[in-house]
Structure 1
Amino acid sequence: MRILHTADWHLGRTLEGRERRQEQTAFVDELCALADERAVDLVLLAGDVYDSVNPPAWAEELFYEALERLSNGGRRGVIVIAGNHDQPERIRAAAPLAHKQGIVLLGLPKEAPLIRDDGQRRADRARVVAGGPSWLEMAIPGVDHHAVVIALPYPSEARLKELLSERFSAELLQQAFAERIAALFAELAKAFRPDTVNLVMSHLFVAGGAESDSERPIQIGGTSVVPPSAFPRAADYVALGHLHRPQKLGDQPLIRYSGSPLAYSFSEAGQSKAVVLIDAVPGQAVREELVYLKSGRPLARWKATEGIAQVERWLAEGRDAGSWIDLELHLADVIDPAEFQRLRKLSDDFVKIQRVLVKPKQEAADAEPRREELAGLKPEQLFRRFYERKRGVPPEPRLVELFSRLMAEPQLAAQEDETG
């Protein structure tokens, strides 16, 4: 059985206001082509389909188009779980239609998959043949063995307590999050068999994983961190979502984050993005392969210590062509607003431009205003100097006018008190 593991699509997400729709559509095209070319039997999407609980309509349309293409007319199994960015009800809304095409959509940990039992158990369609809350057994056309999958959507504290309330004692409910997750996996793993490919998929933060700035935290003070030992050793593979860097966290069982298909913050600059292909046969060690993606635009950080001329030279050289760029521009003096606008127009790839005013140490020391010098300045002049030192540009006239009005209000109030 060949399995494709992906996660953290974050459809609808922007980069500092820049829409990523074109890149996300290109990723879906690349993923579907890969599934066909490599004859994938089962696709696991481990959460964070969308970037918010209320995604744009085009993001939902893209997701459903991806499901239809990946399922290959029902001949390929697809299992999707909700992540911490997703609204569970939105993820599972189309489940009654999707299950007819071999697609399983699970939003909450307590949910059980729909089981196809309509008198049409066709051998050419992927189908769920057994299951319960957070697990299922799937038969896939052309594969001699079945897959048993523990499919646990993002288990927040409240959702986990609700799931466990009917399974475990009150004492266990009081135990730490990680212990309860481990006990739940141990209970669900009773469905694993020697003659099946045994898989776990979830959306969790596992201890030892490397984070980036683009993930919304799901742990507070370490309370929601799960150790690798929490996963059942009988599992052939553990497919995780949440962390955006592809990484392996264990070998027995094999535990992996596939990572996000696109870089979603500049803390991910220079990272390669990938999906994971797994070949699994019951009773044998799995074979894994990272397949690196080409569809997303890279992110690059530029630190121009020689000013605008250096930026112009890099652009002329074609440095990081096709990348989104976070520019840190070092300047020896305040830049004219018109010159700054010209810089912005040099390239549409600049997402952020941060100006850093840098002066030689001695010059900076000489520039420190003396107390007697400041004493002779009016409040508006002091404000202008302070603003320009902090922001690198002079304040707009309207801002100075507003400052003057604020300065005048206490003086007028004091005069009114004196005159009654």
Structure 2
Amino acid sequence: MKVLHTADWHLGKKFSHRDREQEHHAVLHWLVQYIITEKIELLIVAGDIFDTDNPPNYARKLYFNFLKQLVNTCCEDIVIVAGNHDSANMLDAPKELLKMLNVHVVGHISEDRAAQIIEIRGKEEGTLKAVVGAVPYLRDKDIRKSISGETYEERVENLRSGIQQHYQEIETALKPYQRKNIPVIVTGHLYAAGGDRVEERKNTIHLGIGGLGIIKAESFSEDFDYVALGHLHRPQRIDKNRPIWYSGTLIPLDFSELNYDQVVLTIEFEAKTIVKHQSVKVPLKRKIRTYKGTLEYIKEKLSNIEDEVELDTWLKIIVETTHYLPDLSNDLDEIIQGKPVEIIKLEQSKTQDTSIDNTAYQNLQSLQDLKEIEVFRMCAQQKGQIETEQLGELESSFKELLGWMQERDVE
């Protein structure tokens, strides 16, 4: 049996206020064609189909059109679970209708764990081919009762116990299938310990199950033949000895996701054994790049940028400079004029200038030791070397503003 595992589509996602409709349309079209070409029999989408709980209409249309295109193809079953970005209610709303097309949706969990056990039999309801324990993103209220006065540590431990208990109940519900010599697959949308988060997001820890490294590989039963996870955007295996995988995203969702490929995972089973596991690189219609360096380096990069692209290239530019460049944006716009390029983010990064004398401030212990104008000068220096004439004009404006604020305080 051939299975395709994907997750974290984030349909409706914006990138610096720009929508991703064209990119998502292209990548979902490619995914349909790949599924048909490779004769995929089961598709698993492990959460975060949408980016928000109230996605724009075009995102919903992309979702339903994708499912429609797979009707009457080799992909006879589709399993979709909700992620932390999804509205479980919205996903569940058409589930009975979609079930008639062998699209099995689990947004919410129910009291009966059997409702999360999906038998994969194909459209003709023939021989049992596989079984899926469909576990969506588990919200706090889904798995435990709030306890008044509990500490942060107690809450984390209670969350851990609740989620482990849920997977133990799924394991129990799947026990009867272990003797049938078919793949037993389980899904999840969470942060499992051992997974590598995207660098720029490592400082953000959410007090929710999806944001905590609350589950270890040992929490998933060895009776599970494959665990299909979503939530982390980097494709990865969290335990080298166990088939527990994150598929990652279909397209890079921000500039922090450019250092690795976007892929889908294909798994081929013979009975319960994985005989082939493959990461398939997703072709991208838009290039997203980060350039960092001196102004001369940046100008050279922009001058030689590729012209033959389907969608405009989006850039993040970081110019390393010893002094502030007030006309930088206009200068760079002139270089890319007429090119299929858009600068999405422009930053100036100060490099050390030995000509700046900080000795006057080295012995000062706190802001109370400084006059307002001295604080202003220090801030100006931190932004980069400013020409004497410019600094004088800025100081005059600052003093005028400071005087106005002091007069207002008196009033």
Which TM-score band (shorter chain)?
0.7 to 0.9
- Report what 1:103 is aligned to: 103
The alpha-carbon deviation at position 11 of structure 1 amounts to: 0.7
Distance in 2 (CA, whole Å) between partners of 1:157 and 1:412 is 49
The alpha-carbon deviation at position 74 of structure 1 amounts to: 8.9
- Report what 2:297 is aligned to: 310
The alpha-carbon deviation at position 72 of structure 1 amounts to: 3.4
Letter of the structure 2 residue corresponding to residue 101 of structure 1: L
Bigger drift between 403-412 and 147-156 goes to 403-412
Bigger drift between 144-153 and 345-354 goes to 345-354
Letter of the structure 2 residue corresponding to residue 329 of structure 1: V
Q: What does 1:144-293 align with in structure 2 at a 5 Å threshold?
A: 144-161=127-144, 176-195=161-180, 196-212=182-198, 213=200, 225-250=214-239, 253-293=242-282
Name the CA shift for 1:230/1:359 in 2 (closer, same or farther; >3 Å): closer
- Report what 2:367 is aligned to: none
Distance in 1 (CA, whole Å) between partners of 2:405 and 2:279 is 65
Q: Which has the larger radius of gyration?
A: 1
- Report what 1:135 is aligned to: 117
Please say if 1:35 is aligned against 2:35.
Answer: yes
Name the CA shift for 1:403/1:71 in 2 (closer, same or farther; >3 Å): farther
Bigger drift between 397-406 and 95-104 goes to 397-406
Calculate the TM-score normalised by the size of structure 1.
Answer: 0.78
The alpha-carbon deviation at position 13 of structure 1 amounts to: 1.0
Distance in 2 (CA, whole Å) between partners of 1:31 and 1:293 is 8
Name the CA shift for 1:409/1:284 in 2 (closer, same or farther; >3 Å): closer
Q: Give the gaps of 5 or more residues in structure 1.
A: 113-130, 163-171, 372-378
The alpha-carbon deviation at position 185 of structure 1 amounts to: 3.5
Distance in 2 (CA, whole Å) between partners of 1:273 and 1:35 is 16
Bigger drift between 19-28 and 325-334 goes to 325-334
The alpha-carbon deviation at position 413 of structure 1 amounts to: 5.7
Name the CA shift for 1:209/1:223 in 2 (closer, same or farther; >3 Å): closer
Partners of 1:9 and 1:261 within 8 A in 2: yes
Letter of the structure 1 residue corresponding to residue 139 of structure 2: S
Distance in 2 (CA, whole Å) between partners of 1:149 and 1:413 is 67
- Report what 1:58 is aligned to: 58
Name the CA shift for 1:110/1:31 in 2 (closer, same or farther; >3 Å): same
Aligned residues: 376
Distance in 1 (CA, whole Å) between partners of 2:102 and 2:396 is 65
Distance in 1 (CA, whole Å) between partners of 2:163 and 2:78 is 28
Letter of the structure 2 residue corresponding to residue 249 of structure 1: I
Distance in 1 (CA, whole Å) between partners of 2:86 and 2:400 is 48
Name the CA shift for 1:320/1:206 in 2 (closer, same or farther; >3 Å): farther
Q: Give the gaps of 5 or more residues in structure 2.
A: 146-156, 364-370
SS of 2:78 mapped into structure 1: strand
The alpha-carbon deviation at position 381 of structure 1 amounts to: 7.3
Distance in 1 (CA, whole Å) between partners of 2:208 and 2:158 is 19
- Report what 1:93 is aligned to: 93
Distance in 2 (CA, whole Å) between partners of 1:246 and 1:390 is 39
The alpha-carbon deviation at position 317 of structure 1 amounts to: 2.9
Choose which of 327, 332, 335 in structure 1 pairs with 2:325.
Answer: 335
The alpha-carbon deviation at position 334 of structure 1 amounts to: 2.7
Partners of 2:46 and 2:229 within 8 A in 1: yes
Partners of 1:235 and 1:253 within 8 A in 2: no
Name the CA shift for 1:401/1:208 in 2 (closer, same or farther; >3 Å): same
Distance in 1 (CA, whole Å) between partners of 2:283 and 2:114 is 38
Partners of 1:236 and 1:280 within 8 A in 2: no
- Report what 2:49 is aligned to: 49
CA distances 1:212-265 after superposition (whole Å, capped 9, x unpaired): 146985556986611111112122211110111111123664111111011112
Distance in 2 (CA, whole Å) between partners of 1:233 and 1:57 is 41
Partners of 2:140 and 2:159 within 8 A in 1: no
SS of 1:133 mapped into structure 2: helix
Partners of 1:149 and 1:198 within 8 A in 2: yes
Name the CA shift for 1:178/1:370 in 2 (closer, same or farther; >3 Å): closer
The alpha-carbon deviation at position 22 of structure 1 amounts to: 1.0
Distance in 2 (CA, whole Å) between partners of 1:401 and 1:179 is 61
Distance in 2 (CA, whole Å) between partners of 1:11 and 1:217 is 23
- Report what 2:151 is aligned to: none
CA distances 1:373-402 after superposition (whole Å, capped 9, x unpaired): xxxxxx99768756644555869x999869
- Report what 1:407 is aligned to: 403
Distance in 1 (CA, whole Å) between partners of 2:160 and 2:236 is 29
Partners of 1:384 and 1:400 within 8 A in 2: no
CA distances 1:338-391 after superposition (whole Å, capped 9, x unpaired): x43231453433221111233532x122897999xxxxxxx9976875664455
CA distances 1:52-109 after superposition (whole Å, capped 9, x unpaired): 1111111111011111113436962111000011110011111121111111111112
Distance in 2 (CA, whole Å) between partners of 1:38 and 1:22 is 24
- Report what 2:153 is aligned to: none
